[in-house]
Structure 1
């Protein structure tokens, strides 16, 4: 299990704390082979989050929580222009020396830069602070767009939506593009099943690998969705009788093999609708759902909406959330309680990067 320590410094924006939890938690919930332990750590003097709705957090972890972490995340905070406390700087340097990768987003890049760890490397921060970061730290090559910068083992990005782009980048490094794409979809689009839809949790969250897991057969099914797979085809691949296959699927996924296959086809259709402009007819054929009418019927049953509406709603929602993040916040006062990271142009290349993930 990968341990991710999120270092909360005083005045951190609340959404920059919840973003990593949402992203890594979603990845683990929908992919049985993904396991993250998220650990929130505070430094001495931490009082609470910043404006506009400050709140306190209670965590058993202090700076010592960084020592054995695989990844340390450093969000923005109100005092980012100040020199970090010696204990904070020492803990970050020790984590880097111990082999941890360190990710900073938004104004958190200023604090990481102050440790000297980014000297001679490329780094990113919110667009609002690009010039200031370059002025304060001339030995750093500052990315003007705020795009995710991979200067292994240091990773940085703008603070868009609580650093979700950086988190998705790390998930991609850990588990590949397909897991990152599905995680992004789940984070940005929480569609509710229609009232008459079967009440079954997401397939991936029910599957648990065991010594005789159906994992290879499930991956084979997912790779051949366009074929007219039968129960016998699936049972033959698994080396089981049809009765044994049904029992095993029910035990591992909570669904019958054909229920699992249907839901997987619908999920594949969702990904294709998000990632390209193929017509519904082509998507129906590629996912094994056959005809557009059949695709529309099953898509409506499982998601509560039609495929064309889903495509439009997904893209509109992602665009709206990306544009809105930080856009409606009032101007921050330097070093004031609201100065933690309200970037007036928060996109930071996020739309381009998301589009690239969807084209992969």
Structure 2
């Protein structure tokens, strides 16, 4: 295995000495195709300024034949190849996969103990967590799987609203698209921004994206049982977001005092009436940004925010990006005059 010094080439050294960096991509049964393909393509296509390949990519598996959900592949390398790697990438697996085999977890622990850099893609974080490699660390995964990761592995600090987390030796990334961000980040760490930028152009993506996973999460309200005493208030809120919404008015719709309404509301939704209204306003703003040409001031007014400044601040805190950036990413072809 190469020493840390051999792995950490500084940009100034690149014209004079380049040690090819070996990336082992671990293909487990029911591997997610996109998670597997992205590191193979991104690292395999990377080039230095003089055209040389800085990475050697190996696909490794427990057994030569790997069963995917819609395909079968032949992996040319086994787990015994992992000690050769400078970086190990662990893609996610579908829900059809069972717990990781003990030999996989042992191999990952041994690699980590030897100083090998290990990164997961999407729900591949569950494999790293099962090996104990995320204990005491921050980590991320696909936002939809983040609550499960936190519940199963309480020693892991799960961050559901970022694209990737770099702990130095151990890294994790969010959903499949975030694997591109992670791979480009690793290339920049290894060979500098110029090589990473060229790789980003080949993948037709920006080297850095604004915001995190929060912009891709559907900010749905907590479910309220059908026939709930809160339904009159919730329906009224949705119809009157552009107006002032007070606790007294909401409570009146349900025939309760303000104190009783607040208590019942938290019991049934897990949040406060004010937070519910703010979320509803953000969701209304997202819809308007996606489907209309309205300016920020008009969107703010229609969603019930007191000012464009307050709207921008709340939207950025909840969604993770500015209203304009959100519109640029999610604008539909149809628009409303």
Report the TM-score range of the alignment, normalised by the length of the smaller protein.
0.5 to 0.7
CA distance in structure 2 between the aligned counterparts of 1:44 and 1:34, rounded to whole angstroms: 28
Asked if the contact 2:89/2:119 (under 8 Å) is kept, the reply is yes
Is residue 2:32 matched to residue 1:13?
yes
CA distance in structure 2 between the aligned counterparts of 1:15 and 1:124, rounded to whole angstroms: 18
Indicate which of 184, 205, 225 corresponds to 1:168. Answer: 184
Is residue 2:68 matched to residue 1:49?
yes
CA distance in structure 1 between the aligned counterparts of 2:99 and 2:63, rounded to whole angstroms: 15
Displacement after TM superposition at 1:48 (Å):
2.2
Aligned to 2:130: 114
- Cα pair distance change 1:122/1:62, threshold 3 Å: same
CA distance in structure 1 between the aligned counterparts of 2:93 and 2:120, rounded to whole angstroms: 11
For structure 2, list consecutive stretches of 5 or more residues without a partner in the other structure: 1-19, 219-318, 326-337
Asked if the contact 1:72/1:102 (under 8 Å) is kept, the reply is yes
TM-superposition CA deviations, 1:112-146 (whole Å, max 9, x none): 10011110001110111111111111101111214
Question: TM-score, with normalisation over the residues of structure 2?
Answer: 0.53
Asked if the contact 1:81/1:110 (under 8 Å) is kept, the reply is no
Indicate which of 59, 62, 67 corresponds to 2:83. Answer: 67
For structure 1, list consecutive stretches of 5 or more residues without a partner in the other structure: 190-273, 276-314, 328-348, 356-360
Displacement after TM superposition at 1:158 (Å):
0.8
Asked if the contact 2:24/2:60 (under 8 Å) is kept, the reply is yes
Asked if the contact 1:12/1:78 (under 8 Å) is kept, the reply is yes
- Cα pair distance change 1:101/1:13, threshold 3 Å: same
Asked if the contact 2:30/2:97 (under 8 Å) is kept, the reply is no
CA RMSD between the two structures:
3.4
Aligned to 1:259: none
Asked if the contact 1:20/1:163 (under 8 Å) is kept, the reply is yes
Displacement after TM superposition at 1:32 (Å):
2.8
Report which structure shows greater RCO (CA 8 Å, sep ≥6): 1
Displacement after TM superposition at 1:44 (Å):
3.6
Q: Secondary structure at the match of 2:47?
A: helix
Q: Secondary structure at the match of 2:199?
A: helix
Decide which structure has the larger Cα Rg and report it: 2
- How many residues of Structure 1 are paired with residues of Structure 2 in the alignment? 201
